[in-house]
């Protein structure tokens, strides 16, 4: 349900898929322009910082906040 809540409120998703359908959901979020995916095996301070900054500062995601 988190995906639906984020989309309906115009909030970008930073996802770290761990199991089941989470990876495919995040691939859809990335291709749909409302998500950033961090690989579980590549979680670093830098990757998390990048994803959060990208979600906050990128014009692509800023438009989501203005809907």
The pLDDT tens digits of the residues spanning 49-65 come to 999 999 988 888 766 66
CA–CA gap between residue 14 and residue 7 (Å, rounded):
12
Q: Which residues of the chain have pLDDT under 70?
A: 1, 62-67
Q: What CATH number corresponds to the domain at position 28? A: 3.40.50.2000
Listed as own residue / partner, the contacts of 45-49 with beta carbons closer than 8 Å and 24 or more positions apart are: 48/14
**Can you give the residue range of the structural domain that contains 10?**
2-65
Query: C-alpha angle with apex 28: 23 to 30, nearest 5 degrees?
Result: 95
- pLDDT, residue 16, reads 95
| Domain count within the chain | 1
């Amino acid at each position: 349900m988190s995906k639906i809540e984020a989309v309906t409120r115009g909030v970008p998703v930073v996802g770290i898929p761990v199991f089941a359908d989470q990876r495919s959901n995040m691939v859809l979020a990335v291709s749909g322009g409302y998500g950033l995916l961090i690989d579980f095996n590549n979680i670093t301070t830098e990757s998390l910082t990048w994803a959060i900054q990208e979600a906050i500062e990128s014009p692509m995601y800023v438009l989501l906040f203005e809907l």
